[in-house]
Amino acid sequence: MRIERRTFLKSSASIFPALALQNVLAQSSSEAPAAASLHPVPAGEDRSGHLHSLGFSSLAFKVVPSDTAGNLLVIEHRNLLPDTGPALHLHLSQEEWFYVMEGEVRFQVGDRRVQLGVGDSFLAPRRIPHTFSAVGSAAHMLIAFTPADKMEQYFIDAAAHPSLAATADFMNRYDMQWIGPSPFWKS
């Protein structure tokens, strides 16, 4: 039986969030959370009330590690511009899952390059170098990290110090490794 690539990616996209949610539920108590701890996040807004920027896009935290006992960080990545994006890097302890909501995004994960459109998703496994960039016009994605580890703090600190965000020493503080410049950057 032959499985089409798109079918496989869509199936994988539904499994990853379910696995992360299973981890969250397994580590939480059997009691329902108090109403005060429930935090709906309106469209276009950030969990903390203010957006974050890395200079090439804006980020809104949708689910933060304190909501999930450190198991999950979900960010909305808006206005990702072509020929920009993060440096080629890897995460030592978390998987990073991408879901394209608008536009097209090209990814490099390991030695593989793929281009995804609306509704497509991709998983960058831990310890595998990866980067991404919009194609043509600005793109809009959801990105999830599991476990969350130090990623929320990285984005907060990187927004405060954008010139350091893509440097090896800075990334190492957050359990990432800088591999090199993105192959998608224009010189």
Instruction: Give φ, ψ of 26 to 5 degrees.
Output: -65, -30
Comparing 112 with 39, the larger pLDDT belongs to: 112
3-state helix, strand, coil in the chain (%, to 5): 25, 35, 40
Domains and CATH numbers, the chain: 5-26+49-180 (2.60.120.10)
Residues paired with 112 in a beta bridge: 109
Of residues 165 and 183, more confidence is placed in 183
| Buried-exposed string 12-49: b where 16+ CB fall within 10 A, e elsewhere | ebeebbeebeeebeeeeeeeeeeeeeeeebeeeebbee
Q: Return d(Cα 51, Cα 152) in angstroms, integer.
A: 12
Look at residue 22 in the predicted model and tell me its pLDDT.
56
**Tokens 């696995």 — which residue?**
19
31 falls in which pLDDT band (50, 70, 90)? low
Q: What average pLDDT score do residues 48-66 get?
A: 86
Judge whether residue 17 has pLDDT over 70. Answer: no
Give the number of other CB atoms < 10 A from CB of residue 131: 22
Q: If phi over 0 gives left and psi between -120 and 50 gives alpha, with beta otherwise, what is residue 150?
A: alpha
* 30 pLDDT above the threshold of 50: no
Q: Which two tokens stand for residue 146?
A: 């599991």
What pLDDT, on the 0 to 100 scale, is given for residue 9?
46
pLDDT of residue 44: 81
Average pLDDT score over residue span 173-183:
94
Contact 174, 151 (CB under 8 A): yes
